[in-house]
Copies of this chain bind each other. A is one copy, B any other.
Amino acid sequence: MKALKIFSPATVANVSCGFDVLGFCLDAIGDEMVIRTTEKKGIHLTKIEGCELPFEADKNVAGVSALALIEDADPDFGFEIEIYKKIKPGSGIGSSSASAAGSVFAINELLGKPYSKTELTRFAMKGEVLASQSEHADNVAPAIFGGFTLVKSVNPLEVLQLPTPKDLYAVIIHPQIEIKTAEARAILPKDIRLKDAITQWSNVGSLVHALHTNNYNLLSKSLTDVIVEPHRSKLIPHFEKVRETALLHGALGCGISGSGPSIFSLCHGKEVAQQVAMQIKYVYSTTGIPFEIYTSEINTKGIKII
């Protein structure tokens, strides 16, 4: 019997301009999981702490992605999964992705790494379908690859690993209200103005260029969203107040993390990030809405064995 314990990080998808394609990986918050081989074939969830989640493998995102992997690998033994959930479901920082990606990452390690990161992302996406009824990779890709990722296409799956500038920190505030990914998708228009789309793809191109050239000023100017944020920000209480505070205190940019309600700020340097976190905390404390706040370096490694 072999076993390992992993840290499966939270992630920020969309990153303002890059709806459905960009994402980055956090370090300060993530789930822990223990995966061990068992004689009994199949996937067996044996322990789930921190959250009420189904134990049936085909109803649990970590189970579904793991099942997709073993269906392909067909090992003559099985796996037990223990989940120590730290990322709250519906928080908008890739809770389901952490589970979906964590199980396949660990099983791949235990099998001797037969699969590439892109193949693991493909398996993990099966778990995402269970969670949000849509096949997307913008959270699982940064969890598995680390750093910033761009999902060039889903079918066929192609993930680009983008460079991460030094000293880049994220501040995440999670107001404790729930927004379901499916609901946050339903609020979006099917059609958008070509004019706005041009602004958006100019910003995506600029953001990729900024990451390659360590240009924090350009990164800052690229972190805008004229398409999704105007709709989704209405679902998040005091979003504008958080953004104003973040930018006033030196954040490079501030936007909705995934489908919300979490809000991310990107900051150059730990001190700026700590200052931004403190100020957001101060401002949000007056709203009466319970919240959690995290300051995290960008995690360039992704999921890791602990």
* In contact, A205 and B205 (Cβ under 8 angstroms): yes
- Give every chain B residue within 8 A of A167 (Cβ-Cβ): none
CA distance A152 to B188 in the complex (A): 25
Residues 192-227 of A at the B interface (beta carbon under 8 Å): 192-195, 197-209, 212, 218, 221-222, 227
8 Å CB contact of A202 from B151, B191, B209, B218: B151
- Give every chain B residue within 8 A of A195 (Cβ-Cβ): 190
- Give every chain B residue within 8 A of A199 (Cβ-Cβ): 153
Q: Which residue of chain B has the shortest Cβ distance to A154 in the bound complex?
A: B202
A133 CB → nearest B CB, Å: 16
8 Å CB contact of A192 from B20, B151, B191, B222: B191
- Give every chain B residue within 8 A of A277 (Cβ-Cβ): none
* In contact, B206 and A150 (Cβ under 8 angstroms): yes
State whether the Cβ of A298 lies closer than 8 Å to any Cβ in chain B.
Answer: no
* In contact, A206 and B152 (Cβ under 8 angstroms): yes
* Copies of the protein in its oligomer: 2
8 Å CB contact of A193 from B22, B158, B191, B221: B191
State whether the Cβ of A63 lies closer than 8 Å to any Cβ in chain B.
Answer: no
State whether the Cβ of A12 lies closer than 8 Å to any Cβ in chain B.
Answer: no
State whether the Cβ of A256 lies closer than 8 Å to any Cβ in chain B.
Answer: no
* In contact, A194 and B227 (Cβ under 8 angstroms): yes
State whether the Cβ of A21 lies closer than 8 Å to any Cβ in chain B.
Answer: yes
CA distance A218 to B200 in the complex (A): 21
- Give every chain B residue within 8 A of A153 (Cβ-Cβ): 199, 202, 221
Contact flag A191-B188 (CB < 8 Å), given A17-B201, A160-B209: no
Over the window 17-28 of chain A, the binary record of Cβ atoms lying under 8 Å from chain B Cβ atoms (1 yes, 0 no) is 111111000000
* In contact, B190 and A193 (Cβ under 8 angstroms): yes
- Give every chain B residue within 8 A of A192 (Cβ-Cβ): 191-194, 197
Residues 263-293 of A at the B interface (beta carbon under 8 Å): none
Residues 5-38 of A at the B interface (beta carbon under 8 Å): 17-22
State whether the Cβ of A112 lies closer than 8 Å to any Cβ in chain B.
Answer: no
* In contact, B197 and A201 (Cβ under 8 angstroms): yes
State whether the Cβ of A162 lies closer than 8 Å to any Cβ in chain B.
Answer: yes
State whether the Cβ of A230 lies closer than 8 Å to any Cβ in chain B.
Answer: no
| Contact sample, A vs B, 29 pairs, CB 8 Å cutoff | A17-B201, A19-B201, A20-B198, A20-B202, A21-B202, A21-B205, A150-B205, A150-B206, A150-B209, A152-B203, A152-B221, A153-B202, A153-B221, A158-B221, A160-B206, A190-B193, A190-B195, A191-B191, A191-B194, A192-B192, A192-B194, A197-B197, A197-B201, A200-B201, A201-B201, A201-B205, A202-B204, A205-B207, A212-B212
